[in-house]
Amino acid sequence: MRRARAAAPACRHPSGPTGLSFDCGALRMLAERGGSSRGLGVRIVACGAMIATLFTAGCGSSGEQATRSGRVVRVLDGDTVVVQGVGTVRYIGIDTPELHHPRKPVERFAARAAQMNRRMVQGRVVRLATDVEERDVHGRLLAYVYVGEVMVNARLVALGAAEQFPFPPNTLHKDEFARLERQAIRARRGQWGPAEGGPPWGSISPAG
């Protein structure tokens, strides 16, 4: 939906903060391929760097502000939820295709982005960390949303469900989101995949 910082412990993620466990298998795949040892080494280092980025993507930052928590009782779309005792929460720094807009048709990948968000947070207790500005012009809380130590904002970008969308002054994780988006585009994940036929923001009819 288009828009109108407490220190965290070290991350411990069995499959990384973004949940992209298949990237771990990339090292094994590269190791099994032929080619020179030098070329193999370069590819392993590159893959390892990508995995390291994904692992740090969900960690809390010392720059985040006040935190609160509550259970997600409703998922409105790919980047907006309703949290019990808090109200409507808009994810900071990301944007997903429009699902409910009074003047626009449903955008491509909107339903799938909402579904991916729902699978991660629906019915779960989430931690909400704010940035410089706590609320938008609509009164929604602006937050980095965590399930355990996994930052949902970052995971959605890494999976190709969301586009990084820096909106000052809340830009604490903008570089991180930009890196994850570049990786998702290169890997053609989610809305960047060939099935979507190009840029993510093309509109489709509700029945399409």
Domain boundaries, the chain: 21-56, 67-196
Beta carbons of 29 and 35 less than 8 angstroms apart? no
pLDDT of residue 109: 85
Of 154, 128, 129, 171, the residue nearest 57 (C-alpha): 154
Beta carbons of 174 and 166 less than 8 angstroms apart? yes
Paired with 81 in beta bridges are 75, 89
Helix or strand (DSSP H, E) at 129: strand 125-129
Write phi, then psi, for 170 (nearest 5 degrees). -90, 80
pLDDT of residue 61: 54
pLDDT of residue 68: 95
Q: Does residue 117 sit in helix, strand or coil?
A: helix
Instruction: Provide the token pair at 49.
Output: 């760097």
| Cβ-based neighbour number of residue 176 at 10 Å | 22
Q: 67-196: what CATH class? A: mainly beta
pLDDT under 70: residue ranges of the chain: 1-62, 101-102, 105-106, 195-208
Rg for the chain (alpha carbons), in Å? 18
Of 109, 118, 97, the residue nearest 165 (C-alpha): 97
pLDDT of residue 64: 83
- Is residue 7 classed exposed, middle or buried when 0-12, 13-18 and 19+ CB atoms within 10 A define those classes? exposed
pLDDT of residue 98: 80
